[in-house]
Chains A and B, each alone.
Chain A
Amino acid sequence: MKPFGYLRVSSVEEAVRAAGEHPGARFLAGGTNLVDLMKLGVEEPRTLIDVTRLPLDRIEELPDGGVRIGAMVRNSDLAASVPVRERYPVLSQSLLAGASGQLRNTATTGGNLLQRTRCLYFQDTSKPCNKRLPGTGCPAREGVHRDLAVLGHSQHCVATQPSDMAVALAALDATVHLHGPDGERSVPATDFHRLPDDHPEQDTVIRPGELLTAIQLPPVATGTRSRYRKARDRASYAFALVSVGAVLDVRDGVVRRAALAFGGLAHRPWRARAAEEVLQGAPATEDTFARAAEAELAAARPLRDNGFKVPLARNLAVGVLTDLAEIEDPADPGPSRPA
């Protein structure tokens, strides 16, 4: 058995101090991904610092109209929160599209953002993987990679970030609050996850010993609508093949503001800036939406077996934007029962 230490901390400062004192430590929150990876031998922390008792379990409405979400807020609670459902439906929908009810009851906001890729090679310690063991190689490039990246991948890694919530946060221009040995800092959600480049072992910009303490959502302008849509192999309990989170404000048939992010395409939630440029100030038509999606996806470099993700992402983006703009009857494409 691989022994590991276990510490329970009661304040953020104590957590950060403990991390500094225990090299090779990991923070333990819901454990729905970390513990699985420990069982697989992918994660081998020397110490687990249990942060579940930290006072970070509140959803706070801010004076400016934004919302601050403690890192320990459970996914189920966040999805059900009234301000989130009312003002940030894309976030609530993204959470409910992920995992299962049982997992959402346990998984935390911070942990969701920090979950690791489900690339099959990353999870199999009998095989090489640059993310798990830098320098060993990436068998996914030539191997089983239907579910992996088409954008922003490197020769070292073609993994995708699996979080649905992270896609919504990227579209919402959320901010990630961190607390580390040097104090607090905040990072835009869009910059929180990295592209793999030469260091696929680093999923995010988080520094050693830093604790993710909160997510902050900016206020939303009135008239803004948002939505999340995920395509997957089965109706529930599957990671996204591709997903889209979109925030759209249309006035008089013209796009005043649009934010679009893709999941399942890259090593991070893919904020579609090129698409947004096309959308900004353009007529809110299907044609505009298609041009926008295509502008973004022109950069795609699919692998042998995942080229389908490009048209899928395009279709999803057009579909979601069209729904948000109410160009046609937004028929819910989810499964339904006969009467």
Chain B
Amino acid sequence: MNPHFPPGPPPYPLGAPLVRREGREKVTGTARYAAEHTPPACAYAWPVPATVARGRVTAVDTAAALTLPGVCAVLTHENAPRLATADDPTLLVLQEDRVPHRGWYVALAVADSLEAARAAADAVRVSYATEEHDVELTTGHPRLYEPETVNGGYPATRERGDFDGAFADAPVTVDALYTVPPLHNHPMEPHAATAWWSDGHLTVHDASQGSTKVCEDLAALFKLEKSDVTVVSEHVGGGFGSKGTTRPQAVLAAMAARHTGRPVKLSLPRREMPAVVGHRAPTLQRVRLGAGRDGVLTALAHESVTHTSTVTEFVEQAAVPGRVMYTSPNSRTTHRVVPLDVPTPSWMRAPGEAPGMYALESALDELAVALDLDPVELRMRNEPDTEPDSDRAFSSRHLVGCLREGAERFGWQPRDPRPGVRREGRLLLGTGVASATYPVLIAASAAEAHATADGGFRIRINATDIGTGARTALAQVAAAALGVPEERVGMEIGSSDLPPAMLAGGSAGMGSWGWAVHKACTALRARLRDHVGPLPADGFTVTADTRQETSERSPYSRHSFGATFAEVQVDTVTGEVRVRRLTGVYAAGRILNPRTARSQFTGGMTMGLGMALMEGSSLDPAFGDFAERDLASYHVPACADVPWIEAHWLDEDDPHLNPMGSKGIGEIGIVGTAAAIGNAVWHATGARLRDLPLTPDKVLPYL
């Protein structure tokens, strides 16, 4: 039993499959998203994207636009409100004439109606001085450099032992290049904001994964106190990382509202999102593995090449999982990056792990083939005692358990390892496996717990529910800590006026928020226990924050682990690959709500399926933009692509995490899935395809 929670049967519902509290509001359409708030006299904004890939704006002719009916203003770099500097230069919109990539915003039209704003934006004439651009990533690009750190703050390069010597001496080796194209988050709800100013106070309804940071950024940009800014993200229609940081729509809406003196609403057009809300940068990853005949790794190198923009450096940390996964005395993990005239990449579900584990887990499969060893067994033989890179003990690591349970549930054995021998009519069938990992991250958060005189409770914390069920699971944490039925706990989340908290990202939301909620509720419970007589009319309020707890670096290496098993069919006539079934088994600490957790796992696995088989965009060399910018051309899985998918988890008891014992589950489902599918395609066909996605044009030549 978890010592942090009072014992007993329900009504202490931690671990119960409660339905989402806001589910009814959402399915009946009454839950309001950022663009669905319309204050009186609200104006509408429509952006003007740059149509050159590199250069300077030499003139913006707004005369025609301003004469159109209903047009209030056109903001450009010449008249827009001045912003202070920002940590993130992608937020410095309409401040200067430089165009760093195609699609960068160069003007914003504001009008009485959405249609008028759009017509005005179309009527704005922008002249440019264009410069030669370069958007093509290659492993030999002359401007590649080694950054100091990569996303997540990890060092770009780590070396242990003598990789070159060990690789040269290894009797069995793999040396392969894996490529992942640009990927796009494309949450169902586009990035949107509604902003207004009132007596110097800025209020923004923003589609964000964390309004605490949006509030801080807006306060800094507009030189305000944080108390002068309120950012609300009550309901958010997905983000997958693209709403994890403040995005231009919030800044533009606030600027336009200040400029016009009216509330302003801005919802980014779907086709413009890839240029301004981040993307997963393409990666070219060379993996080299050397092993003894027994399959034990003696050399592991993972070297990733990627792009960033000229606006800011963002380096996808694809080689980092190689520091965690397998024992190898000799190891090299490196990142190199080139700034191109491309949109700025950013976080996308499991940054680093998703593309990195595709490469590493594909290479493991190639090694298993070279060794004639079962790929599950190969992974078990390389299970480390401590984290290879740091030698720290794992707080818990049940990768082997996940592989075993997954193999059993999936029916992995008996498995004929030979490729290309299972036929069903014109179909070739195959199975594949890959491991998954994702770090346990945690950040300081604050929460307030209030007991009302009539026996109810109210929890206030600026957590964000981006569709995950966080609101519901947090109420479960609170109810369990208070020892009361969950129905008596009211939740207030999604506003920067609430106690500040971690964003919904890095699979760190529940752990970070839940810890603060638990702390506040535990203190409130103690106070109520000590109290004699009826509560005062305004009840009791307790606040707590976890700054101290979270500032202490854990002596443990803390990660979730998992194993994904895939069965695919490959049509020998067309090269079409379809997944028949996916089984994922995860060890992610304590699961707080199995219903919403299963959604997170299977949602991640589905996204991994998309990454394996259909997702990806092209950077158009001539124009410098992503060619596939809408959901007709950027394919994500349709229901028919996901015929059978199941997620399970081990009961993992890890005392080194947080009071709930949870690890975070939002991202690990995508990790490993693409590799499992790619490995299954090899098993089906004998073709080792290393360039995602595995569309018919790539598969057919090998059939």
Contact = CB atoms under 8 A, between A and B. Distances in A.
Interface of A: 1-2, 41, 118, 120, 126-127, 139, 142-144, 146, 231-238, 241, 305-306, 308, 311-312, 315-316, 318-319, 329, 331-333, 335-338
Interface of B: 49, 51, 113, 115-116, 118-119, 122, 424-427, 567, 569, 571, 573-576, 578, 580-581, 613-614, 618, 620-623, 627-628, 632-633, 635, 637-641, 643-644, 695-697, 700-701
A311 B576 CA distance: 13
B302 to A, nearest CB: 29
A154 to B, nearest CB: 20
B622 A312 contact: no
A315 B701 CA distance: 12
B582 to A, nearest CB: 11
A234 B623 contact: no
Contacts of A335: 569, 578, 580, 640-641, 643
A234 B115 contact: no
23 contacts: A1-B116, A1-B118, A118-B632, A118-B633, A139-B620, A143-B621, A231-B575, A231-B696, A233-B696, A235-B638, A238-B638, A312-B575, A312-B697, A315-B574, A316-B573, A319-B426, A319-B573, A329-B425, A335-B580, A335-B640, A335-B643, A336-B580, A337-B643
A11 B298 CA distance: 80
A120 B628 contact: yes
Contact of B644 (A146, A237, A337): A337
Contacts of B638: 234-238
Given A233-B635, A233-B695, A241-B697, A126 B51 contact: yes
A312 B424 CA distance: 20
A1 B576 contact: no
Contacts of A336: 569, 580, 643
A235 B700 contact: no
A231 B574 CA distance: 6
The listed residue with most A CB atoms (<10 A of its CB), out of B113, B569, B620, is: B620
A235 B118 CA distance: 35
B46 to A, nearest CB: 11
A27 to B, nearest CB: 23
Given A139-B622, A234-B638, A1 B700 contact: no
A126 B638 CA distance: 29
Contacts of B632: 118
Contact of B623 (A127, A329, A331): A127
A243 B49 CA distance: 37
A331 B424 CA distance: 8
Nearest to A236: B640
Contacts of B641: 234-236, 335
A215 B640 CA distance: 31
Contacts of B118: 1
Contact of A316 (B574, B578, B623): B574
A333 B627 contact: no
The listed residue with most B CB atoms (<10 A of its CB), out of A1, A305, A318, A329, is: A1
Contacts of A315: 573-574, 700
Nearest to A239: B632
The listed residue with most B CB atoms (<10 A of its CB), out of A118, A332, A336, is: A336
B427 A333 contact: yes
A46 B578 CA distance: 45
A243 to B, nearest CB: 10
B618 to A, nearest CB: 5
A146 B617 CA distance: 12
The listed residue with most B CB atoms (<10 A of its CB), out of A126, A305, A316, A319, is: A126
A120 B426 CA distance: 33
B404 to A, nearest CB: 21
B99 to A, nearest CB: 13
The listed residue with most B CB atoms (<10 A of its CB), out of A120, A127, A331, A333, is: A333
Nearest to B579: A335
Contacts of B424: 331
Given A232-B576, A234-B641, A338-B580, A333 B633 contact: no
A45 B115 CA distance: 16
Contacts of B644: 337-338
Contact of B635 (A127, A238, A311): A238
Contacts of A118: 632-633
B618 A144 contact: yes
B533 to A, nearest CB: 61
B620 A143 contact: yes
Contacts of A337: 580, 643-644
The listed residue with most B CB atoms (<10 A of its CB), out of A234, A315, A335, is: A234
A321 to B, nearest CB: 12
Contacts of A305: 697
Contacts of A139: 620, 622-623
B122 A41 contact: yes
Contacts of A234: 613-614, 635, 637-638, 640-641
Nearest to A126: B51
B628 A333 contact: no
Contacts of B623: 127, 139, 143
Nearest to B616: A233
Given A236-B638, A308-B696, A316-B573, A142 B51 contact: no
Contact of A333 (B113, B426, B580, B696): B426
